[in-house]
Amino acid sequence: MNTKYPMALLGLLTILGCELLTVVSSNKTEALRIMENAPVIDGHNDLPWQLLSKFNNQLNEVNLHTLNDTHTNIPKLREGRVGGQFWAAYVPCETQGKDAVKRTLEQIDVVHRMCEAYPDTFLCVDTAQDIATAIRAKRVASLIGVEGGHSIDSSLGVLRTFYHLGVRYMTLTHSCNTPWADNWLVDTGSDPAKSNGLSEFGKNIILEMNRLGMMVDLAHVSAKTMKDALEVSKAPVIFSHSSAYKLCASARNVQDDVLRIVKEKKGLVMVNFYNDYVTCSSKANLSNVADHFDYIKNIAGYESVGFGGDYDGVPRVPEGLEDVSKYPDLVAELIRRGWTQVELEAALKDNLLRVFTEVEQTSLQMSSEKPKEVPINYQEIKSDCHTSYGYKLVDTSAAAHLHAAKGLLLMCLVYTLFH
């Protein structure tokens, strides 16, 4: 047996393998170097939902340093170079028209308490400037996004109150229609269209968000709602956790025509890592996620792409992106694919800061405008769980009785006059 060629081949493979390893590790080193000054600001993390589900929001029962059955804990955030995080104040659609507002307030409260309980790690902030300040102080800038318009129960007053509590984006729907906006399941045929995008009241919600300085989030909405919001909004919008439809034809993802409008309007699509939205199957890996970054960059430009991992909100995550410690591995892969430092810094941090700053500036420009006051039509929210205080309702049964009585009186009058 001639062992000369197999030995040579083995030697060649060893050299190639070593070189590959060296390239991979140097890309990772470069990723960590870039993320030293540009840690990731992620658009969507559902740790607050985990705190509710596992501990009924009792922070005394949990240690975020050692919690290990979630995608997120403090050591993993540090390892992942997470500099900013929008924590989702999410409550399920079944709360709609019931206790959605109360439960959303509780999720906002648990984020505030998380910042108080771990002041060395988290700093709750609500401006673009303070995100940068927190990052310089090596803390995780912590912001709140309300995931689903059902959380405001169709109330402009609740929307404004959420803003005062620090909420800086609202996803217009979760996976259900609100009385004023259609959700993505309309596009799958599972839900009937209700407003054909945004109703007039829904458009007023967008304008009020613009006036307040709250980012409009279009993850989870129907394609028509996306287009309506992009047309109405005076400020750039975000998709806090959505990927590219062309690579995985899920209605949760963003189609090319919308990506082009996002580019034109200088918005931001923060890539979702959930396997089912990355490959449209239960299996996915880090490279599949990098494909979405490449794709969105090619269509909308590097100024319109970001990270929206959806950690702790999904049952499956890709191989290689198992938890929040893995962002640098994804950045290393993007380096391998030729992304420049400027492009990476934009996707990691600068795009979000730019959009948020523009949203703040739009709010300033609208500061002479009065708050929107016209409430939603009562018929849109009428249910056993809603009272009608303030609405001038016509009691149709009382009106009918009055009408009949008037008729009778007239008949009596005619009879008296002519007999």
Is residue 296 within 8 A of residue 351, CB to CB? The reply is: no
The one catalytic residue among 42, 46, 182, 208: 46
Is the Cα torsion angle 400, 403, 409, 410 positive or negative in sign?
Answer: negative
**Rounded CA gap, 218 and 242, in Å?**
9
Given 174, 217, 323, 333, the catalytic residue: 174
Q: Judge whether 241 counts as a catalytic residue.
A: yes
Quote the CA–CA distance of 351 and 299 in Å, as a whole number: 16
Helix H or strand E segment including 41 = strand 40-45
Catalytic residue among 310, 323, 329, 343: 310
Active site residue 386: no
Whether 112 is a known active-site residue: answer no
- Exposed / middle / buried, residue 166 (Cβ in 10 Å: 0-12, 13-18, 19+): middle
Handedness of CA 162, 93, 59, 327 (dihedral sign): negative
Task: List phi, psi (to 5°) of 347.
Answer: -65, -35
Assess whether 191 carries a catalytic annotation. Answer: no
Return the residue matching tokens 């989870």.
220
Secondary structure E strands in 202-267: 215-217, 238-239
Write the DSSP symbol of residue 246. T
Q: How many CB atoms lie within 10 A of CB 103?
A: 17
Would you put residue 236 in left (φ > 0), alpha (ψ -120 to 50) or beta?
Answer: beta
Respond yes or no: is residue 323 known to be catalytic.
no
The whole-angstrom separation of Cα 165 and Cα 160 is: 9
The packing angle between helices 223-232 and 200-212, to 10°, is 50
- Return the ∠ at Cα 373 (arms to 369 and 377), rounded to 5°: 145
Which of 182, 241, 303, 323 is catalytic? The answer is 241
Q: β-strand 268-271 against 238-239: which pairing, if any?
A: parallel
310 is catalytic: yes
Residues 220, 291, 292, 343: which is the catalytic one? 220
| From 42, 71, 126, 147, the catalytic residue | 147
Owner of token pair 């034809």: 249
Q: Is 99 a catalytic residue?
A: no
Residues designated catalytic: 44, 46, 147, 174, 220, 241, 310
